């Protein structure tokens, strides 16, 4: 989603708060499992680093342990997610991908 900023250009609008969480996740893909490291995560998606990157538009599945402080709970919460890869990027020789989370299930 973008919005016009009055200067004739558009800027991205975030629809969910991003949490800068670095965590190891095992991505299940059609091509096999991939070990990745998250950079940030929100209720809508995540940014992660890995090599190789999963294909664009491919389905991914993963479970992540979210810290209690972020979730507002007494204990850490395990979240199982299903999503799809929507973007690839390379920054400072690190391969990154962004994924949208289509479904999730809290495991308490």
- The C-alpha torsion from 39 through 40 and 44 to 48, rounded to 10°, is 0
Domain assignment present for residue 72? The answer is: yes
Residue 11 belongs to some domain of the structure: no
Give the chain's domain count: 1
CATH code, domain carrying 41? 2.40.10.220
What is the pTM for the complete model shown?
0.80
Residue 12 resides in a domain = no
16: confidence class by pLDDT, cuts 50, 70, 90: confident
Q: Minimal CA–CA distance to 95: which of 15, 33, 25, 37?
A: 37
Please, how many CA atoms are within 13 Å of residue 9, restricted to the half-sphere of its CB?
3
> In terms of residue numbers, what domain contains 45?
18-107
Residue 7 domain-assigned (yes or no): no
Q: Count how many Cα atoms sit within 13 Å of the Cα of residue 23 in the half-sphere of its side chain.
A: 17
Dump pLDDT digits (tens) for 56-86: 999 999 999 888 888 889 999 999 999 999 9
């Amino acid at each position: 989603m973008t919005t016009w900023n009055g200067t004739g250009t558009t800027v991205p609008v975030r629809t969910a708060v991003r949490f800068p969480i670095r965590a190891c996740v095992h991505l299940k893909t059609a091509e096999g499992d991939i070990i990745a490291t998250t950079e940030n995560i929100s209720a809508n998606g995540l940014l992660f680093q890995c090599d190789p990157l999963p294909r664009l538009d491919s389905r991914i599945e993963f479970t992540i342990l979210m810290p209690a402080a972020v979730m507002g709970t007494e204990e850490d919460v395990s979240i199982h997610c299903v999503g799809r890869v929507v973007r690839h990027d390379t920054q400072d020789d690190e391969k990154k991908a962004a994924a949208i989370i289509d479904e999730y299930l809290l495991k308490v």
